[in-house]
Amino acid sequence: MRNCALLILVLLVASCHKKENFDATGTFQATEILISSEVTGRIWSLDINEGDVVQPLQVVGIIDSTQLYLKKLQLMESVRSVSSDRPDIGKQIAATKEQLANQKVEQRRIQNLFQQNAASQKQLDDINTAVLVLEKQLEAQLSSLSNRTASIDAQSSSIDVQIAQLDEQLSYCQIKPYVGGTVLDKFAEVGELATVGKPLFKLADLDKMYLRAYVISAQLADIQLGDKVKVVAQFGGDKQRDYEGTIYWIASQSEFTPRNIQTVDERAELVYAIKISVANDGYLKIGGYGEVFFQ
């Protein structure tokens, strides 16, 4: 009888365990980033392989920069050529300023003589006109030289901008992703021609995984952003690992239940996707299956 009672107790415990159903299921995913070429040129090196871990701004390859560098040299020569045409305003107006200064001295002399009745009105009018002409001439020279200088400065600034753009493009010849992660796929090899926008490799931060699961509408009232949940990763057979997860996204629109997803109510056709962040301890893999238990 004792053996019989023990057997019944074991069956009851197993039965209770079977009734502990999941609240949602899904697959583990990671944010994937496609790293593409930002310049056109031959790939000189690309020192990565699938599975390698890349740090942010780590130089992993080089694209031929010869043509860009030659363009930069050409523009630098243009800057020197344009700068050589910049007028020396001081030297070019020096003669006119000297003439004007001399005429003003003569003007003051004649004005003094005129006040003493030692000079005629015509002499005074002539010197006044001469001073006025030289003043207008100096003003015109300054305006012309200033406009010419401004035009040269504008050309020089335009070329400087082009050089800055080339410097930026030259920096793109170093293949360095702005984010770190694990290399999932490699799409290019040394010797191939890279073009702007051509995918080179794909990265994913596998330290921060998320489970994309699905819930029916009746479950939405029981969950909200920031909720802690239990995530059970299934590895086949009886192998599984438990994780703490946090709901950080809930879809605003429903969709049809994916074929590979189970729901609490198998009759449900429309479900809502949710994303649950999970810290990866190295066991979680993209595409792995997981179950969710709301707490």
Residues 138, 100 contacting (CB under 8 angstroms): yes
In percent, how much of the chain has pLDDT > 70?
Answer: 89
Beta-carbon contacts of residue 204 (< 8 Å; ≥ 6 apart)? 30, 31, 32, 33, 181, 182, 184, 286
36 beta partners: 199
Please give the CATH architecture assigned to the domain spanning 22-31+206-294.
Beta Barrel (2.40)
Write the pLDDT tens digit of every residue in 73-123: 999 998 888 887 788 888 888 888 888 899 899 889 989 988 888 888 998
How deeply is 231 buried, as exposed, middle or buried, from its count of CB atoms within 10 A (0-12, 13-18, 19+)?
Answer: buried
Write the pLDDT tens digit of every residue in 222-255: 899 999 999 999 998 889 999 999 999 999 988 8
**What are the structure tokens assigned to 129, written together?**
């006109």
Write the pLDDT tens digit of every residue in 129-144: 999 998 998 899 888 8
Domain definitions of the chain by residue range:
22-31+206-294, 67-172
Distance CA 191, CA 126 (A): 81
Residues 200, 194 contacting (CB under 8 angstroms): yes
